[in-house]
A and B are shown apart, each in its own frame.
Chain A
Amino acid sequence: MTPENRSIKGDFDERIISLFVQGEYGKLTVGQGPGAADGATESDLSGTKVASFPDLALVGGALPFVEKSGDVTMSPTVFQSIRNQDFEARYDRVQYDSPKFGPVSLAVSQGYKGEQDITELAAFYNANLDGLGRLSASIGYSTKDVGGAAGDLDTIGGSVSWLHNTGINMTVVYSNTENDAGRDSDFNMFKVGYKTGKHAFTVHRAQGMDFDPVVVTPGANEGDPDIRNRVAGSDVEVYGAAYVYQPIKRLEIYAAYNNFSLDADSGSYEDVDVAIVGSRLRF
């Protein structure tokens, strides 16, 4: 869906098709599905995850940061400019999930996506803290052999979320991705909120640095090569808020707002504002 076409019909896509065997020594899974570290940057006890997810560009991502001079060849989308750099959500892999060692569990996966070989490692921690509420934390690492000049794409990321018994909660996310061609992009997010009964409210600040999006626009005349411009030194800041009302366990009604602003080595950009009101019904 784009501003020019608001009615693209979604496909029904196969996310997971796997076979598993599970016992006291853990779980072995073979087939297409999420990798061992998938979700490691997405620990969240705030109650507003459905409306304020770390990968903020998943809602409104196709909107452009309009360059103030009107130069469309230097106007990247939000989706190109900030991501939480979480791990692979679907590929063909063999995965082992350990049993829980107290509050800790480990996971490792190895597989491929097209021509790319992928290895992932992760650790997850979930515990009730005596008198201090709940703590959920995770850390993951992946290396992806993408070939060519980029070589290996290495990602490390994690998240910590704490929910106090009073309902006050805090969540921190960080990730870094590097490759052999000089990419070195960072993402961080801080979220604080209050959760009570059927209501949850959070405010957040996120930042994506050095994603350096490449804007591809068609040549002026038919047959001309595409124009490719890199927005060097990109730095996207996001400020937002979310509210979720959950009248029954199966139903969430939510509203959220995000302001995205882009700063770069050159150019000056208009902000992007996105607001959503929606509902999720589970079955």
Chain B
Amino acid sequence: MKKHKLALSIAFAGMVSAPAYAQKVEVPDLDVNVYGFINMAIMHSDTGNGSEQYIVDNDFASSRVGGVISTDLPDTGLKVGPIWNGNTSITPPTW
């Protein structure tokens, strides 16, 4: 996991090629946690129809990436933020 302060640089449309005019917006105390993993496996199977090999995304813990952004609300003791997480998926039945 990576945790760091985030500084956003916003270049207004049409000014991308002119960085001297870019607006830099500091967003203090914003915690960004990015996480994920790649989980690949080789599978061998044997059934009444014979044996076969497959290269699979191990669905016991399928490959994914996600993030949590949070910030403290002053004087409340509260922390707020969005959570996002996506993964690879194949409509069941899956391997």
Residue of B39, B54, B89 near A280 (CB, 8 A) is B39
0/1 string, A50-71, CB within 8 A of B gives 1? 1111010011111111111000
Residue of B34, B45, B88 near A272 (CB, 8 A) is B45
Inter-subunit contact A10/B57 (CB<8 Å): yes
Given contacts A50-B58, A280-B61, whether A60 and B85 have CB atoms under 8 Å apart is no
Chain B: minimal CB distance from A95 (Å): 11
Inter-subunit contact A12/B45 (CB<8 Å): no
Residue of B60, B77, B82, B87 near A51 (CB, 8 A) is B60
Inter-subunit contact A19/B37 (CB<8 Å): no
Inter-subunit contact B52/A19 (CB<8 Å): no
List the one stretch of A20-28, A136-144, A145-153 in contact with chain B: A20-28
Given contacts A18-B82, A21-B78, A279-B39, whether A12 and B47 have CB atoms under 8 Å apart is no
In this complex, the interface size class of chain B, counting residues with CB under 8 Å from chain A, is: 35 or more
In this complex, the interface size class of chain A, counting residues with CB under 8 Å from chain B, is: 35 or more
Inter-subunit contact B93/A17 (CB<8 Å): no
Is A77 interfacial (CB-CB < 8 Å)?
yes
Tell me, in angstroms, the Cα distance from A278 to B44 when the chains sit together.
12
Inter-subunit contact B83/A33 (CB<8 Å): yes
For B94, the closest partner residue in chain A by CB is A61
Given contacts A1-B95, A20-B81, whether A276 and B41 have CB atoms under 8 Å apart is yes
Is B80 interfacial (CB-CB < 8 Å)?
yes
Question: With a CB–CB cut-off of 8 A, which chain A residues contact B36?
Answer: 282-283
Which residues of A does B touch, CB under 8 Å? 1-3, 6, 8, 10-24, 29, 31, 33, 49-53, 55, 58-68, 77, 79-80, 254, 269-283
Which 7 A-B pairs give the minimum distances between C-beta atoms? A278-B41, A66-B48, A270-B48, A53-B60, A16-B85, A13-B89, A62-B93
